[in-house]
Amino acid sequence: MLTRFLVALVFLLAIVSTAAITALYVSKNNGGGKVIVQQAAPSPVAPAAGPSGDDAIKAYLEKNPDIASAIVQKQQQEAQAKADAAAANAIKNKINEYERDPKNPVVGNPRGDVTLVKFSDYNCGFCKKAAKDIVDLLAEDTNLRVVMKDYPILGERSQINAKAALAFWNLNKHRYFDFHNALLEKGAKTDEQLYALAAEYGVASADLKRVMNSEDIQATIDRNSALAKEIQIFGTPSFLVGGEIIRGALGVQAFKDAIAKARGR
C-alpha cells in the first residue's frame, strides 16, 4: 500500500512540475527599446486523451523505473535507522534486564569483563551451529560471561524444551551447559526423549516436570520474549555484545570482533 502511494505521488509531482513551468515571452517597449519579460496568461487546457490512473502511473514508471525504487529504498533506510535507534535506546535503558536477570542461566566466567547475551530456540538449526561457536569461544576466552535467554518462537515443542532447559538450570547448574548443548545437538521431539536426556545429565524426570511447569519458568520466558521484541529481534539465534546486536550464526570471528570492540570502550 505504501509503495503504491509513493508511486502515485511521484507521478503527480512530475505532472505538477511540468505544469509549473511558466511560459515567458519578450516584447519591446515602443519608446526606448527596453526589453520587458511578462508572464503569459494561462490558456485553457482541454482534457488529454489517453490512459489515466493506474495505466498512466505504470506508463510513467516504465520510462522512469529508478524513481520509485529510490523513494522506497529511502523510506526503508529511514525506517531501519529509526528501529536501530529505538533498539539502541532500549538496550541502554534496560541493560541490567538483558545482562543481569538472575533467572537466566549464565555460563563461562560469571565475573567476566564482557557479557554476551544469547537468544535461541532449541528447534533452530542455526542455533545449533552457533552453540558450537560459543563452546569454542569460551574455551579460548576465559574472561567472557554468556547469558542464555531462551526465546522459543518455533512452536509448542520449542516452548516445552525451553521450559525444560530453564528447569534444569534451577535443579543442576553444574551440568546445565552440557544439557543445553545436548538438547540442541540431539533434539527432543517427545516428552519421553526430553526426560531421558535430562536423566542422562543428572536430573530426574519427576523433578524436571515439577519445576518446568511452574509459573516462574513461564514468566522468565515471557520476559525474554518481550525484551527480544523490544529491540526488533524476531529470529534466532541473535546476540547482544557491548550493547550491539548480532543477528544470525555469523561464526566465531564475528563474536571475537564484537567482544574486542566492547573491551576497547
CATH number at residue 253: 3.40.30.10
Residues 119 and 243 reside in one and the same domain: yes
Which pairing describes strands 35-39 and 106-108: parallel, antiparallel, or unpaired? unpaired
Between 53 and 214, the more confident residue is: 214
Residue 71 shares a structural domain with residue 148: no
Domain that holds residue 151: 96-263
**Is 67 found in the same domain as 129?**
no
Q: Is 212 helix (H, G, I), strand (E, B) or coil?
A: helix
Q: How confident is the model at residue 29 (pLDDT cuts 50, 70, 90)?
A: very low
Report the SS3 class of residue 131: helix
Predicted pLDDT at 87: 80
Q: What is the mean pLDDT of residues 230-245?
A: 94
Question: Taking residues 111-119, what's their average pLDDT?
Answer: 98
18, part of any domain: no
Question: In this predicted structure, what is the pLDDT of residue 98?
Answer: 95
* Residue 89 and residue 192 in one domain: no
Q: In the predicted model, what is the mean pLDDT of residues 213-224?
A: 97
Do residue 130 and residue 232 come from a single domain? yes
Residues 132 and 190 in one domain: yes
In a domain, 115, yes or no: yes
CA 159, 164, 170, 174 torsion-angle sign: negative
Lowest-pLDDT choice from 19-33, 108-122, 231-245: 19-33
Give the residue-averaged pLDDT of 30-49: 45
- All three cell numbers of 57: 502511473
Give a yes or no: residue 32 inside a domain: no
125-140 vs 176-186: helix crossing angle, rounded to 10? 140
* Residue after which a domain boundary falls, among 93, 112, 142: 93
Q: Is the peptide bond before 237 cis (omega within 30 degrees of 0)?
A: yes
Q: Which of 93, 120, 144 is the last residue of a domain?
A: 93
89 with 130, same domain: the answer is: no
Assess whether 243 and 123 both reside in one domain.
yes
pLDDT of 32 over the 50 cut:
no
Query: Is 208 domain-assigned?
Result: yes
* Residue 42 confidence (pLDDT): 47
Q: Are residues 207 and 228 both part of a single domain?
A: yes
Coil/strand/helix, residue 54: helix
Same structural domain, 217 and 182: yes
Q: Is residue 24 part of a domain?
A: no
Q: What residue type is assigned to position 227 of the chain?
A: L
Q: Domain total for the chain?
A: 2
Q: Say if residue 227 is in the same domain as residue 208.
A: yes
Instruction: Single out the residue in 66, 93, 120 at which a domain terminates.
Output: 93
Residue 66's pLDDT band, with cuts at 50, 70 and 90, is confident
Residue 237 forms part of a structural domain: yes
User: Would 36 be classed as within a structural domain?
Assistant: no
Task: For residue 160, tell me if it sits in a domain.
Answer: yes
Whether residues 87 and 100 share a domain: the answer is no
Nearest C-alpha neighbor of 241 from the set 131, 113, 130: 113
